[in-house]
């Protein structure tokens, strides 16, 4: 019978897959913004949640170069741009 070591039982940390020091391009910023918009809408997350300091902190931990949109930006121009395509 194969025994599992403690290391194999531990869940990996998602932030370990990202470089928090890396800056991102404007195209990448827009790509992530679109993905955030889709996630927010599909999950039924209120737009004001994006301004929560813990949510902002989560995005910064994943990639310090990413600046999450504000509630107004997410529900305004990003939503309008996605509807126009």
82 found inside a domain: yes
Residues in the chain: 85
78 found inside a domain: yes
Residue 60 reports pLDDT greater than 80: yes
**Number of domains the chain is built from:** 1
Domain of 58 in residue numbering reads as 47-85
Q: Which residues of 20-55 are buried (b: 16+ CB within 10 A; e: fewer)?
A: eeeeeeeeebeebbeebbeebeeeeeebeebeeeee
Q: What are the tens digits of pLDDT across the range 16-51?
A: 555 555 689 999 999 999 999 999 999 999 999 999
16 found inside a domain: no
3-state DSSP helix/strand/coil percent for the chain, to nearest 5? 65, 0, 35
58 found inside a domain: yes
3 found inside a domain: no
Q: In terms of C-beta distances under 8 Å and separation of at least 24 residues, what long-range contacts does 10-18 make, across chains too?
A: 14/62, 15/61, 15/62, 18/62, 18/63
pTM: 0.66
């Amino acid at each position: 019978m194969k025994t599992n070591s403690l290391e194999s039982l531990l869940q990996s940390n998602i932030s370990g897959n990202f470089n928090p020091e890396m800056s991102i391009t404007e195209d990448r910023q827009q790509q992530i913004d679109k993905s955030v918009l889709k996630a927010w809408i599909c999950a039924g997350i209120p737009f004001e949640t994006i301004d929560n300091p813990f949510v902002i902190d989560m995005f910064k931990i994943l990639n310090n170069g990413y600046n999450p949109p504000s509630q107004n930006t997410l529900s305004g121009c990003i939503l309008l741009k996605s509807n126009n395509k």
